[in-house]
Amino acid sequence: KQEVTQIPAALSVPEGENLVLNCSFTDSAIYNLQWFRQDPGKGLTSLLLIQSSQREQTSGRLNASLDKSSGRSTLYIAASQPGDSATYLCAVIYNQGGKLIFGQGTELSVKP
Amino acid sequence: DTAVSQTPKYLVTQMGNDKSIKCEQNLGHDTMYWYKQDSKKFLKIMFSYNNKELIINETVPNRFSPKSPDKAHLNLHINSLELGDSAVYFCASRTSGGANEQFFGPGTRLTVL
């Protein structure tokens, strides 16, 4: 069964800290992996997409890495800010045009 | 210049009613999706259409019927609403070609009383 797990479920850090969110998937034959952000009561915002042939992607203070062989991805957030507080979702897709399979998300709170 | 839009944003209705949620994307994408986010915030695929053709149909009750009048629109009609249908429904579309990146609408919060 293809499943995605995110650890931790919730994380609270002081402003300015660097942090890592973890995502693991049971079937390593992914097509790509996408990280999203969801603010309370809002839709999903795509943060980074890593294709299966790539090892990492960067956007501003965000860096996502992918290790297909071990079935893991990490989202690194540098110099966290209160505005980063949200739920972060990891999702994988196994074929072009297919469905995203989501993890349960990590709820991040950055305290001023 | 909203990329993926949904209407309505909130929908409150009684059990047994029939309701529709509309979705439109102006990104020129060929493939659109409906996802359901339950009370525990878990997101799961319901349907996918590619250029008006159904390509993914998960184990969703047949009270749910998607309709795609053209590739920019994917509507969701729900018959005989039940309490368990209360959730947030998200529409998404994806880029064509290799990246397969999906973009989501703002969601429709459905509450069945």
Residue numbers in A near B48 (CB within 8 A): 97, 99
Query: Given the structure tokens 């294709």, which residue do they identify?
Result: A51
Q: Which contiguous run of DSSP H or E holds residue A15?
A: none
pLDDT of residue B20: 97
Do the bridges between strand A10-14 and strand A106-111 make them parallel or antiparallel, or are there none, so unpaired?
A: parallel
CB of A111 within 8 Å of any CB in chain B?
Answer: no
CA-to-CA dists, residue B70 to A108, B16, B23, B60, B106, angstroms? 39, 29, 11, 22, 21
Convert the pLDDT of each residue in A21-53 to its tens digit.
999 999 989 999 999 999 998 899 999 999 999
pLDDT of residue A86: 97
pLDDT of residue B86: 97
- The rounded distance, in Å, linking the Cα atoms of A6 and A28 is 15
Whole-number percent of chain A with pLDDT over 70 = 100
Closest Cα of chain B to A30: distance in Å?
A: 12
> Which residues 6+ apart lie within 8 Å of A49 measured at CB?
A32, A33, A34, A35, A57, B99, B100, B101
pLDDT of residue B98: 67
What is the average pLDDT across A69-98?
A: 94
* Backbone dihedral region for residue B51 (phi beyond 0: left; psi -120 to 50: alpha; all else: beta): left
pLDDT of residue A70: 95
Question: What backbone phi and psi angles, to 5 degrees, belong to A82?
Answer: -55, -30
CB of A34 within 8 Å of any CB in chain B?
Answer: yes
CB A105 within 8 A of CB A35: no
CB A77 within 8 A of CB A25: no
pLDDT band at residue A73, thresholds of 50, 70 and 90?
very high
Give pLDDT < 50 ranges for chain B: none
pLDDT band at residue A88, thresholds of 50, 70 and 90?
very high
What does R_g of chain B's alpha carbons equal in angstroms?
A: 13
Closest Cα of chain A to B67: distance in Å?
A: 18
Least CB–CB distance from A46: residue in B31, B58, B101: B101
- The rounded distance, in Å, linking the Cα atoms of B3 and B24 is 8
- The rounded distance, in Å, linking the Cα atoms of A90 and B28 is 25
Closest Cα of chain A to B21: distance in Å?
A: 15
Q: Please choose, from the candidates A43, A65, A63, A46, the residue with its C-alpha nearest in 3D space to the C-alpha of residue A54.
A: A65
Least CB–CB distance from B102: residue in A34, A87, A105: A34
